[in-house]
């Protein structure tokens, strides 16, 4: 993309002319017309500044703390309005850490004095952290700018999901020359999708839309209590094909917008399967077999994960996963969801809500890694109020086809399972596996570049997103021991790009990350599970405030959720009852959790919740009036409305 800005030739020509000739060979350069054209404005400006400290001092003395086209006009006297910040001006004193260089802080091709990177958290255990900041122990005169003459690209991202796209766009905006490689390998039944990764195509977005479709079906029933009558007095009927088409149309529009967004910031999008040849070279092949090899100073692995299949006969031949369900061209019919993950429970929830006979097969516990009190409440709510059946303590051993699937119609499958040593056999139309995910790291050449992975999970070991190979980084679901959440990958990607190409010292804080499970009765949480808090702080040092509540904002007349909606705060008595865990089960739990997340990250105490005035009538206001403690043993009766 060609950038243009006007300058005062009298003031800046002595500086700009030689620097442009030295650093850039643009297609058009015209100082006589008071305009300068170049391919990457922000990169060129940073090169100008590094080459001429007098110019840098001139900008600082003018009061400008950031540099962009507008600030250049301001310094030259052609603009009196201060510009909005784009990226920070390098400071030879403060900006001394080559974050993301080798272990001594140096980048490829750069010379620095040895130094050790040190992380300073903005909080301790007594106060929830907001962000981390990286600080040097000893200075090194190092710039985040990469020598673009040595490599084809400053920054190559392998993986076009949410995190990879965020990092690539931010890096390009900061002046780096960037490319993104993305290629989707079809599922065993042939499902594939466009740019954007799991979240947009086969995860968060279509999941939430199908969840909403099921809630609308419930709302139709509730509407009768409010006087609404269905035309003709008939029963409601759902059209699976119409829903899938609408969802896929929306997703395709997002795929296009992602491509446009990359183009707008001059990121090269390469729709090919990429593998590392060594630590600086990538070889890729597209769907037509065309090969390309590029070099990069820095490489980011953001390939995400794909659903696992169990090692049983017929699993891949006849089963599907979440990669397939959102574009399935026929109604799934009677469905078995294998697994107790949030993906399994979410899919089972919306399928049951859409009217399909749905069963969940569980090997052990529900929602491993989540608060188990809340997990069991979710299971009871799904079973008692949402017509989802559970088969506990069972695993499938084989799947056989009775009748093949055809256009517009599901087939018939015989599923043989083992439950407590006893064999059980049942027929289903669709079997959906949600038994975990594998990181997409085994076939991208990490071993050739020397990148270490956890041999058990295949995930990458990284410190502050930097692998053991200094110029190779990783974000998102491929990271070992990190939350597999889209917003986490986006935040980590943006912060990484700013450290690599703008001299930032801020790293992503993986603590106190809010999330929500979109089961029929939604579950939102942030902080510690109750059992984890008890183990960490001790039973005598934890107090749990909890209560049931009536969801007055949705379906109050129908009596929905009175037996299942629940809120609790887990407090550390050793720290003035700081809230270390917040959990809510009820409608709009995601919205409630997001609202309280800021207070949690800022170290909110129980008294802060007590002092907060609730908005009435809302479900969220229940958190400002939790009085019953678990240790008291008092019965959790429903509170009265309005006091």
pLDDT tens string 267-321: 999 999 999 999 999 999 999 999 999 999 999 999 999 999 999 999 999 999 9
Which residues make Cβ contacts (< 8 Å) with residue 560, sequence separation at least 6?
218, 222, 385, 551, 554
CB 107 within 8 A of CB 503: no
Which residues make Cβ contacts (< 8 Å) with residue 159, sequence separation at least 6?
180, 181, 182, 197, 300, 301, 302, 303, 304, 440, 476
d(CA 604, CA 578): 6
481-496 core/surface letters (b: 16 or more CB in 10 A; e: else) = ebbbbbbbbbbbbbbb
d(CA 359, CA 341): 14
Instruction: Please report the pLDDT score of residue 408 as a whole number.
Output: 81
Tokens of 25: 């060979």
CB 320 within 8 A of CB 433: yes
Instruction: Please report the pLDDT score of residue 101 as a whole number.
Output: 39
- Residue that wins the pLDDT comparison between 188 and 553: 188
- The secondary structure of 374-415 as a DSSP string is HHHHHHHHHHHHS-EEEEETEEEEEEEEEE--BTTB--EEEE
- Residue that wins the pLDDT comparison between 331 and 118: 331
Range in 127-136, 390-399, 434-443, 505-514 the model is least confident about: 127-136
Range in 106-110, 174-178, 339-343, 513-517 the model is least confident about: 106-110
d(CA 10, CA 8): 6
d(CA 42, CA 265): 11
Q: Confidence band (pLDDT; 50, 70, 90) for 586?
A: very high
Q: Confidence band (pLDDT; 50, 70, 90) for 557?
A: low
Q: Mean pLDDT across the stretch 466-478? A: 98
Tokens of 601: 């990250």
Q: What percent of the chain has pLDDT over 70?
A: 74
SS (H, E, C) 147-198: CCCCCCEEEEEECCCHHHHHHHHHHHHCCCCEEEECCCCCCCCCCCCCCCHH
Neighbours of 234 (CB within 10 A): 7
Q: Hey, do 308-436 and 521-623 end up sharing a CATH topology, with the first three levels equal?
A: no
| Phi and psi torsions of 574, nearest 5° | -70, -15
Q: Which uninterrupted H or E stretch holds 11? A: helix 9-23
pLDDT over 80 (residue 4): no
User: Which is the CATH superfamily of the domain at 153-307+438-502?
Assistant: FAD/NAD(P)-binding domain (3.50.50.60)
Tokens of 26: 């643009």
- Per-residue model confidence as pLDDT tens digits over 392-419: 999 999 999 999 998 889 999 999 999 9
* pTM for this model (two decimals): 0.79
- Residue that wins the pLDDT comparison between 62 and 509: 509
Does the domain at 308-436 match CATH 3.40.50.10070? Answer given as no
Instruction: Please report the pLDDT score of residue 146 as a whole number.
Output: 52
Q: If we measure between CA atoms, which residue out of 315, 325, 311 comes closest to residue 413? A: 315
- Residue that wins the pLDDT comparison between 51 and 508: 508
Active site residues: 616
Instruction: Please report the pLDDT score of residue 637 as a whole number.
Output: 75
Tokens of 22: 């030295």
d(CA 604, CA 68): 39
| Phi and psi torsions of 282, nearest 5° | -125, 135
pLDDT over 80 (residue 91): no
Q: Mean pLDDT across the stretch 80-101? A: 36
pLDDT over 90 (residue 7): no
- Residue that wins the pLDDT comparison between 114 and 489: 489
First-to-last C-alpha distance (Å) of the chain: 61
CA 607 to the chain's CA centroid: 32
Q: Which uninterrupted H or E stretch holds 307? A: strand 305-307
Domain residue spans of the chain: 153-307+438-502, 308-436, 521-623
Within 13 A of 315's CA, how many CA atoms are on the CB side?
Answer: 17
pLDDT over 50 (residue 497): yes
Beta bridge partners of 158: 181, 301
Range in 6-10, 204-208, 459-463, 614-618 the model is least confident about: 6-10
Instruction: Please report the pLDDT score of residue 554 as a whole number.
Output: 63
Q: Confidence band (pLDDT; 50, 70, 90) for 230?
A: confident
Range in 178-187, 343-352, 401-410, 445-454 the model is least confident about: 401-410
Helix axes 204-223, 342-353, angle to 10 degrees: 40
CATH class, 521-623 region: alpha beta
Q: Which uninterrupted H or E stretch holds 292? A: strand 291-301
Instruction: Please report the pLDDT score of residue 192 as a whole number.
Output: 96
Report the mean per-residue pLDDT for the chain. 82
Which residues make Cβ contacts (< 8 Å) with residue 249, sequence separation at least 6?
none
CB 85 within 8 A of CB 77: no
Cis omega (within 30 of 0) for bond into 617: yes
- The secondary structure of 193-224 as a DSSP string is --TTHHHHHHSHHHHHHHHHHHHHHHHHHHHG
Q: Mean pLDDT across the stretch 21-26? A: 38
- Residue that wins the pLDDT comparison between 14 and 591: 591
300-313 core/surface letters (b: 16 or more CB in 10 A; e: else) = bbbbbbbbebbebe
pLDDT over 50 (residue 117): no
- Per-residue model confidence as pLDDT tens digits over 361-393: 999 999 999 999 999 999 999 999 999 999 999
CB 135 within 8 A of CB 97: yes
- Residue that wins the pLDDT comparison between 24 and 270: 270
d(CA 210, CA 587): 15
Q: Mean pLDDT across the stretch 85-108? A: 36
pLDDT over 60 (residue 165): yes
pLDDT over 60 (residue 79): no
Beta bridge partners of 335: 358, 430
- The secondary structure of 559-589 as a DSSP string is TTTTTT-EEEEEEEGGGTTEEEEEEEESTTH
pLDDT over 80 (residue 33): no
- Per-residue model confidence as pLDDT tens digits over 611-640: 999 999 999 999 999 999 999 999 887 666
Coil, helix or strand for 59? helix
Which residues make Cβ contacts (< 8 Å) with residue 228, sequence separation at least 6?
none
Q: What percent of the chain has pLDDT over 90?
A: 70
């Amino acid at each position: 993309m060609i950038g243009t800005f006007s300058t005062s030739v009298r003031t800046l020509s002595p500086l700009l002319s030689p620097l442009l000739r030295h650093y850039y060979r643009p297609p058009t350069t015209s100082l006589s017309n008071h305009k300068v054209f170049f391919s990457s404005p922000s990169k060129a400006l940073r090169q100008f500044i590094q080459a001429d400290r007098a110019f840098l001092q001139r900008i600082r003395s003018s009061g400008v703390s950031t540099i962009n086209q507008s600030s250049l006009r301001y310094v030259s006297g052609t603009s009196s309005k201060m510009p909005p910040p784009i990226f920070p001006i390098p400071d030879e004193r403060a900006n001394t850490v080559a974050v993301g260089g080798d272990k001594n802080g140096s980048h490829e091709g750069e010379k620095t004095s040895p130094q050790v990177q040190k992380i300073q958290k903005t909080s301790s255990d007594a106060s929830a952290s907001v962000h981390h900041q990286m600080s040097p122990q000893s200075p090194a005169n190092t710039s985040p700018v990469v020598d673009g003459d040595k490599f084809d690209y400053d920054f190559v991202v392998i993986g076009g999901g949410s995190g990879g796209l965020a990092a690539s766009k931010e890096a390009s905006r900061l002046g780096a020359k960037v490319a993104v490689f993305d290629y989707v390998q079809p599922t065993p039944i042939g499902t594939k999708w466009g740019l954007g990764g799991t979240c947009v195509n086969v995860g968060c977005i279509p999941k939430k839309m199908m969840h909403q479709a099921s809630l609308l079906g419930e709302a139709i029933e509730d509407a009768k209590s409010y006087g609404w009558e269905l035309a003709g007095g008939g029963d409601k009927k759902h059209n699976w094909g119409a829903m899938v088409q609408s969802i896929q149309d929306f997703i395709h529009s997002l795929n296009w917008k992602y491509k446009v967004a990359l183009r707008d910031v001059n990121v090269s999008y390469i729709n090919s399967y990429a593998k590392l040849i060594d630590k600086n070279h990538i070889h890729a092949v597209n769907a037509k077999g065309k090969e390309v090899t590029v070099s990069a100073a820095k490489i980011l692995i953001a390939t995400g994960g794909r659903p696992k299949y169990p090692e049983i006969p017929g699993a891949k031949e006849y089963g599907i996963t979440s990669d397939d369900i959102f574009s399935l061209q026929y109604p799934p019919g009677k469905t078995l969801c294998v697994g107790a993950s949030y993906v399994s429970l979410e899919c089972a929830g919306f399928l049951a809500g859409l009217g399909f006979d749905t069963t969940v097969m569980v090997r052990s516990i529900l929602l491993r890694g989540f608060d188990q009190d809340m997990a069991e409440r979710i299971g009871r709510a799904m079973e008692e109020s949402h017509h989802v059946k559970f088969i506990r303590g069972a695993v499938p051993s084989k799947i056989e086809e009775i009748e093949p699937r055809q256009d517009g119609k599901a087939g018939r499958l015989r599923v043989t399972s083992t439950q407590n040593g006893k064999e059980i056999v049942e027929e289903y139309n669709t079997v959906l596996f949600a038994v975990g995910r594998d990181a997409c790291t085994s076939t991208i050449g990490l071993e050739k570049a020397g990148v270490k992975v956890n041999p058990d999970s295949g995930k990458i070991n990284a410190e502050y997103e930097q692998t053991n190979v200094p110029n190779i980084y990783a974000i998102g679901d491929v990271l070992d021991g990190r939350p597999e959440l889209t917003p986490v990958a986006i935040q980590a990607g943006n912060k990484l790009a700013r450290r690599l190409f703008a001299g930032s010292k801020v790293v992503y804080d993986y603590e106190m990350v809010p999330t929500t499970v979109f089961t029929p009765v939604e579950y939102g949480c942030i902080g510690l599970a109750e059992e984890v808090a008890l183990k960490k702080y001790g039973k005598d040092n934890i107090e749990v405030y909890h209560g049931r509540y009536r969801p007055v904002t949705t379906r109050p007349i129908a009596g929905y959720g009175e037996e299942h909606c629940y809120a609790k705060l887990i407090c550390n008595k050793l720290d003035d009852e700081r809230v270390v865990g917040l959990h809510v089960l009820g409608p709009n739990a995601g919205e409630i959790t997001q609202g309280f997340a800021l207070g949690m990250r800022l170290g909110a105490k129980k008294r802060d919740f007590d002092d907060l005035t609730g908005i009435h009538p809302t479900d969220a206001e229940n958190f400002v009036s939790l009085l019953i403690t678990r240790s008291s043993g008092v019965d959790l009766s429903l509170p009265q409305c309005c006091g």
